[in-house]
């Protein structure tokens, strides 16, 4: 049963400001319904019912189904990245210190495993496959394909490579580009070997992916 009858109004009769809790509930419901029904069959009314809001509230927050889908994709990307580097990237954390104490190859290999954990998140993988399946029929969904490498992970690794360069362990003139190269290698092989997240990657294969990517970076940027 829905818990509201549309947008709340302020004292002057104008719609109230943003309601983060309702917006988040709508996004959670949208992901569930889109994954269950597919983009075409998913109805805004069904999403509204699952979020326990009115259909008009969904439209007030997102405008239409297309923009709701794009917002749901962005929300999933934020969710899987949120736990990756919880500390500020400009302030080294305990995890940063642990990475810095390892041998360069070992640190990069460990980092690669973290990339795979994010990449192969079950719900995010299912949504990625849905985007691929629907974008040909719905070209307006193309912005959802413009994911590239997970930028929070690239930034985190660039910081680590910068510290390694400062200490003379590597010679990386452009840490951001090198980080993007490493993450792209791991992501591409992770998607291929997992068949876009439809099957788990064996531990030995995951380690091989990460070690090969680490070795390429170390050989390219060793002092």
Mean pLDDT along residues 191-210 = 96
| pLDDT > 50? residue 203 | yes
Q: What is the mean pLDDT of residues 42-56?
A: 96
For residue 95, pLDDT beyond 60? no
Q: Which of 21-25, 34-38, 86-90, 109-113 has the lowest mean pLDDT?
A: 86-90
pLDDT tens sequence across 128-168: 899 999 988 888 888 887 665 567 788 899 999 999 999 99
Q: Which two tokens stand for residue 27?
A: 């996004």
Number of residues that this document lists for the chain: 223
Confidence of residue 15 (pLDDT cuts 50, 70, 90): very low
- For the chain, which domains are there? 1-63 (1.10.10.60), 87-221 (1.10.357.10)
Angle at 81 between CA 218 and CA 75, to 5 degrees: 145
Q: What is the mean pLDDT of residues 211-222?
A: 97
pLDDT score of 56: 95
What average pLDDT does the structure give for the chain?
A: 85
Within 13 A of 113's CA, how many CA atoms are on the CB side? 14
Q: Are 189 and 209 in contact (CB under 8 A)?
A: yes
The model's pTM is: 0.76
CA nearest to 159, candidates 215, 83, 89, 65: 89
pLDDT digit string, tens, across residues 51-74: 999 999 999 999 999 999 999 998
Least confident range from 25-29, 77-81, 95-99, 211-215: namely 95-99
Using H for helix, E for strand and C for coil, what is the string for the chain?
CCCCCCCCECCCCCECCCCHHHHHHHHHHHHHHHHHHHHHHCCHHHHHHHHCCCHHHHHHHHCCHHHHHHHHHHHHHHHHHHCCCCCCCCCCCHHHHHHHHCCHHHHHHHHHHHHHHHHCCHHHHHHHHHHHHHCCCCHHHHHHHCCCCCHHHHHHHHHHHHHHHHCCCECCCCHHHHHHHHHHHHHHHHHHHCCCCCCCCCHHHHHHHHHHHHHHHHHHHEC
**pLDDT beyond 60 at 11:** no
The whole-number pLDDT of residue 147 equals: 60
């Amino acid at each position: 049963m829905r818990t509201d009858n549309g947008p709340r109004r302020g004292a002057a009769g104008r719609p109230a400001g943003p309601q983060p809790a309702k917006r988040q509930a709508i996004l959670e419901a949208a992901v569930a319904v889109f994954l269950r029904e597919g983009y075409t069959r998913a109805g805004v009314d069904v999403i509204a019912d699952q979020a326990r809001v009115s259909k008009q509230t969904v439209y007030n927050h997102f405008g239409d189904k297309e923009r709701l889908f794009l917002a749901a994709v962005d929300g999933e990307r934020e969710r899987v990245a949120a736990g990756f580097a919880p500390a500020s990237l400009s302030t080294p954390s305990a995890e940063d210190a642990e990475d810095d104490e390892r041998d360069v190859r070992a640190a990069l290999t460990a980092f690669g495993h973290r990339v795979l954990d994010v990449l192969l998140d079950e719900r995010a993988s299912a949504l990625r496959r849905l985007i691929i399946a629907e974008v040909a029929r719905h070209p307006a969904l193309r912005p959802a394909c413009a994911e590239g490498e997970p930028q929070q992970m690239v930034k985190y690794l660039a910081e680590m490579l910068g510290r390694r360069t400062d200490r003379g362990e590597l010679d990386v003139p452009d840490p951001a580009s090198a980080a993007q190269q490493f993450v792209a290698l791991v992501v591409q092989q992770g998607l291929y070997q997992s068949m876009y997240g439809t099957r788990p990657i064996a531990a030995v294969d995951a380690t091989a992916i990460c070690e090969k990517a680490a070795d390429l970076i170390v050989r390219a940027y060793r002092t």
